[in-house]
């Protein structure tokens, strides 16, 4: 019989960005959790490099956005250009400037710019912060072997890989943030459905002093090499002349171990330098989603429940958003101000977002350097110039969807959530490029800069926030506060006076959730305000709330 250790409120399996986001969210809310990781440290995966504006807004909320900015290996002002070339030594075909919105500076649409930064750097910043929070315990070299659950909690059997000992942990809830080969998913019998094997890919990290100066295309975060010989992606990744290289056409039957990576890089770039391979790995691009995200008290998040090609930079960022959504909801339930419908809303809200983003990623994956190459692309003279102009125009039309995607990053909405109260207005059309801020229920609450230089988001509370218009009734605000106290619901009331607020928040009252999504809005505080608060916190199945 394995004796359990002290009971935790939440056990998180996997200390990548998803598990760390969940642990940080819980830690900020005073919920004790244990985060276990089978490896001896965070930061093994070198693939993800885009931390998008929404993830950076979460880091701002946690107080660590500046730390990640300072950790930027290329410097925060390094231009986030994406350049399409025949080869690094060849001709330019097209370019996208400020791809992913990495340029510093104030933008009216978001409070934090994106960052081109290796995932392992992001993980290290998040790890340090997670371990600074009271109640967050992180154990490396620790893996899940088995679990069982009932209506009272979950018992997990764990193995310490350092000592070889086994022990068990009791928890109120368990979350599998353990990636594509999730043990948690396997233990609860969840199946992945969709398309496996869209492509086989190699990711090679290498050191190449002088490579940045050996080509004529200027600084960029990514160079797409479009040709019929060795189509590929290449770009700077870290200090010390560290780069990444990814062929986008892999010969069937060739193993990664059999490749001469330096020779491939020379062939692709046309630049002869001493390339030192630092790491290489093989991965398969797929479009897969779990048939369910939950089994009683066990949840799945991140790659454990959805997988898609990396083109568009959505993967890590979508997983962080999973951790945020699930984190505040678990905290609310464990602290007594959230009910069962709040946990039910996790899959109801996140699955449609995952489906949309997966479709975008698959569309981006369908147009790589292989598909863009054309005969005569590298020819000299007028014929070559004409082919390059044609391909450049095609790139400009087809790849904008991958690099200018604010409509996806900030424009997703929770339409069918059981804890969002619709105001009856029609849903706007989805748009992958253009983001139009809206305070319509289910949408991300619009960002705005205050006159003191702060973001409106900086003034939201850790619970719900009520954004009141300048003509809001003082008695109505008092009633809202009293209803929140009666429901034991944390509520912050704001009444910003900046003129821009009227167009962003046209309703007199807008109720914003802890994750900064709008839960309800109206021009009068409901006479049955407590029913509204019970509904949005998941404690009643009330279908309608009267105004």
Pairing status of strand 491-494 against strand 276-290: unpaired
User: Helix, strand, or coil here: 99?
Assistant: helix
Contacts 24+ apart (CB under 8 A), 367-371: 367/398, 367/399, 368/231, 368/248, 368/249, 368/311, 369/224, 369/225, 369/226, 369/227, 369/231, 369/232, 369/233, 369/248, 369/249, 370/231, 370/248, 370/249
Is the distance from CB of 27 to CB of 138 less than 8 angstroms? no
Residue 255: per-residue pLDDT: 74
- Does residue 521 lie within any of the structural domains? yes
CA 70 to CA 65: how far, in whole Å? 9
User: Helix, strand, or coil here: 531?
Assistant: helix
How open is the CA angle 362-364-370, to the nearest 5 degrees? Answer: 110
Is the distance from CB of 303 to CB of 18 less than 8 angstroms? yes
How open is the CA angle 325-111-461, to the nearest 5 degrees? Answer: 50
- Does residue 418 lie within any of the structural domains? yes
Is the distance from CB of 328 to CB of 25 less than 8 angstroms? yes
- Does residue 111 lie within any of the structural domains? no
Q: Hey, CA dihedral for 104, 105, 107, 111, is it positive or negative?
A: positive
The CATH number assigned to the domain holding 458 equals 3.40.30.120
CA 476 to CA 486: how far, in whole Å? 15
- Does residue 448 lie within any of the structural domains? yes
| Domain carrying residue 472 | 414-536
User: Helix, strand, or coil here: 370?
Assistant: helix
Pairing status of strand 136-139 against strand 509-512: unpaired
Residues 6+ apart with CB under 8 A from 426: none
CA 453 to CA 491: how far, in whole Å? 24
Residue 547: per-residue pLDDT: 38
Q: Indicate the Cα dihedral angle 29, 32, 37, 38, nearest 10°.
A: -160
Residue 545: per-residue pLDDT: 43
- Does residue 34 lie within any of the structural domains? no
Kindly report the three-state secondary structure assignment for every residue of 485-516.
Answer: HHCCCCEEEECCCCCCHHHHCCCCEEEECCCC
- Closest among 499, 195, 129 to 359, alpha carbons compared: 195
In order of 112, 221, 436, the CA distances from 444 in angstroms are: 15, 28, 10
Kindly report the three-state secondary structure assignment for every residue of 124-181.
Answer: HHHHHHHHHCCCEEEECCEEEEEEEEECCEEEEEEEECCCCCEEEEEEEEEEECCCCC
Q: Token digits for 181? A: 């080969």
Pairing status of strand 518-522 against strand 509-512: antiparallel
- Does residue 449 lie within any of the structural domains? yes
Q: Indicate the Cα dihedral angle 285, 287, 291, 294, nearest 10°.
A: 60
CA 298 to CA 115: how far, in whole Å? 33
- Does residue 459 lie within any of the structural domains? yes
- Does residue 474 lie within any of the structural domains? yes
CA 280 to CA 433: how far, in whole Å? 33
Distance, CA of 416 to chain centre: 21
Other Cβ atoms less than 10 A from the Cβ of 282: the count is 13
CA 381 to CA 421: how far, in whole Å? 63
- Phi/psi of residue 407, nearest 5 degrees: -60, -30
H or E stretch covering 201: strand 192-207
For each of the chain's 547 residues, which pLDDT tens digit applies? Answer: 334 456 789 999 999 999 999 999 999 999 999 999 999 887 655 678 999 999 999 999 999 999 999 999 999 999 999 999 999 999 999 999 999 999 999 999 999 999 999 999 999 999 999 999 999 999 999 999 999 999 999 999 999 999 999 999 999 999 999 999 999 999 999 999 999 988 888 899 999 999 999 999 999 999 999 999 999 999 999 999 999 999 988 767 667 777 899 999 999 999 999 999 999 888 888 999 999 999 999 999 999 999 998 888 898 999 999 999 999 999 999 999 999 999 999 999 999 999 999 999 998 888 887 889 999 999 999 999 999 999 999 999 999 999 999 999 999 999 989 999 999 999 998 899 999 999 999 999 999 999 999 999 999 999 999 999 999 999 999 999 999 999 999 999 999 999 889 999 999 999 999 999 999 999 999 999 999 999 999 998 545 443 3
Is the distance from CB of 15 to CB of 36 less than 8 angstroms? yes
In order of 19, 37, 113, 205, 256, the CA distances from 179 in angstroms are: 10, 11, 27, 21, 22
Residues 6+ apart with CB under 8 A from 263: none
User: Residue 156: beta bridge partners?
Assistant: 147, 169
Domain count, the chain: 1
């Amino acid at each position: 019989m394995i004796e359990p250790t002290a009971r935790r409120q939440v056990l998180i399996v996997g200390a990548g960005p998803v598990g760390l986001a969940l642990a940080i969210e819980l830690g900020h809310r005073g919920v004790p959790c244990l985060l276990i990781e089978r490896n001896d440290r965070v930061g093994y995966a070198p693939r993800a490099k885009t931390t998008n504006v929404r993830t950076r807004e979460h880091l701002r909320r946690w107080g660590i956005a500046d730390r990640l900015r300072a950790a930027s290996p290329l410097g925060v002002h390094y231009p986030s250009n994406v350049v399409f070339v025949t080869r690094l030594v060849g001709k330019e075909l097209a370019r996208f400037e400020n791809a992913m919105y990495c340029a510093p500076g104030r933008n009216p649409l978001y409070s934090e710019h994106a960052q081109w930064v290796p995932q392992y750097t992001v993980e290290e910043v998040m790890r340090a912060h997670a371990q600074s929070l009271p109640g967050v315990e992180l154990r490396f070299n620790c893996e899940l072997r088995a679990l069982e659950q009932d209506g009272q909690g979950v018992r997990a059997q764990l193995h310490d890989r350092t000592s070889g000992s086994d022990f068990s942990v009791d928890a109120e809830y368990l979350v599998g943030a353990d990636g594509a080969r999730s043990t948690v998913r396997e233990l609860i019998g969840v199946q992945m459905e969709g398309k496996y094997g869209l492509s086989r890919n190699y990711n090679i990290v290498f050191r190449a002093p002088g490579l940045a100066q050996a080509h004529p295309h200027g600084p960029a975060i990514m160079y797409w090499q479009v040709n019929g010989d060795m189509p590929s992606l290449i770009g700077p990744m870290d200090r010390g002349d560290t780069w990444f290289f990814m062929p986008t056409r892999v010969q069937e039957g060739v193993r990664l171990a059999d490749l001469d990576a330096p020779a491939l890089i020379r062939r692709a770039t046309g630049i002869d330098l001493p390339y030192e391979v630092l790491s290489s790995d093989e991965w398969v691009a797929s479009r897969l989603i779990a048939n369910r995200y939950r089994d009683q008290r066990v949840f799945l998040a991140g790659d454990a429940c959805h997988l898609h090609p990396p083109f568009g930079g959505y993967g890590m960022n979508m997983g962080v958003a999973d951790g945020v959504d699930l984190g505040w909801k678990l905290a609310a339930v464990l602290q007594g101000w959230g009910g069962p419908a709040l946990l039910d809303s996790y899959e109801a809200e996140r699955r449609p977002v995952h489906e949309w983003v997966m479709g975008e990623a698959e569309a981006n994956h369908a147009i790589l350097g292989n598909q863009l190459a054309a005969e005569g692309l590298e020819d000299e003279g007028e014929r070559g110039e004409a082919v390059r102009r044609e391909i450049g125009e095609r790139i400009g039309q087809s790849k904008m969807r991958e690099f200018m995607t604010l409509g996806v990053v900030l424009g997703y909405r929770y339409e069918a959530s059981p804890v969002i109260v619709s105001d009856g207005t029609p849903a706007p059309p989805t748009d992958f490029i253009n983001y139009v801020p809206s305070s319509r229920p289910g949408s991300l609450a619009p960002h705005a800069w205050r006159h003191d230089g702060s973001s409106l988001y900086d003034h939201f509370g850790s619970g719900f926030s009520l954004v009141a218009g300048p003509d809001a009734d003082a008695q109505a605000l008092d009633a809202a506060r009293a209803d929140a106290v009666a429901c034991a619901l944390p509520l912050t009331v704001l009444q910003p006076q900046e003129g821009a607020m009227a167009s962003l928040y046209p309703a007199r009252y807008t109720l914003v959730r802890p994750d900064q999504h709008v839960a309800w809005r109206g021009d009068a505080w409901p006479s049955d305000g407590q029913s509204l608060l019970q509904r949005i916190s998941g404690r009643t199945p009330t279908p309608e709330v009267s105004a």
